[in-house]
Structure 1
Amino acid sequence: MVKLLKDITYKNIISRIRWNVVIPLLLFISAIISLFIIFNPFAPKYNCLDGICTRLHLQPESIPLNGESTILVEIRNVGIESRDVDVLLWSDDTSVIFTDTQNRSSNDRVTLAPGNSRELDFDIVARAKYPGEYGIRIDVRFDNNSITEKIFLRIVK
């Protein structure tokens, strides 16, 4: 038994590892992790129409009763001309209000040169009595076009 323990040394263990299998396996795992970082499947996606792209998300997505969150609206102009863009937001429920207007709606206007982008943030307060998902509609208007999306704020106890 003592001889058996003497034979188990780090040098002996390392010499028994099949490196021709371990190294490709480590390279494969690092490639998968790199691809996941570059092409994150859980990242919010862009919604594009006529040279204007939008992407939105909540930060945080889930809040307690009477909590606060921020809606982030990213707007990109991938077209070849400057655009005036109006962003309008409406809460479906009177329990979710915007801090800048103390109302169920808020808006902002930006001018984007070709290739430029802006991220607008809208702070909201949930004065909800009950947990659940509360909808907020975002309408991005430019020229005679409109991109309408809906995002849901999760309110928990």
Structure 2
Amino acid sequence: MKRTSLADAPCPIARSLDAVGEWWSLLILRDAMLGSTRFDEFQRGIGLATNMLARRLQTLVEAGLLERRLYQPRPPRHEYHLTDKGRDFLPVLLAMADWGNRWLMPEGDFRLVCKDTGATLHPVLVDRDSGRPIIAARVTPEMTGGAGARDVETLYREDVP
């Protein structure tokens, strides 16, 4: 089944999903954030078949989230390092971890911890300018024009092409 590209969709969420929306890609980014750089480290951490892992790594390189660096010339071996674009994905992963911990892991076996203090972290999305927490009741999407701009109400409805 061929996947439909969302790269030109008039919605930043759709475009983001086009770049990283496959669950294995999210797990690769998670492991990269935790320090994995080598193919065998990703394979050990995720358990994905090598051919699929190679494809997912290549997709993340093409999307500009990872960069491939040669670390051994003979035989050629590469590491995968987060780019600035990839590192900027950290808040998304932290938000997913916090949400999953709250709603999908009630047994409480997981927590995010500050390396400096050992304190449990509870991520909150805040507005960069005001410092206020962002909550759904205070958010509305707004198109600023340009190609593909249309009524914002239709952006998130499934029945609109």
Determine which structure has more spread, i.e. the larger CA radius of gyration.
1
Higher RCO (CA-CA < 8 Å; seq separation 6+): 1
Query: So what's the TM-score if we normalise by structure 2?
Result: 0.19
Greater share of helix: 2
Query: So what's the TM-score if we normalise by structure 1?
Result: 0.19
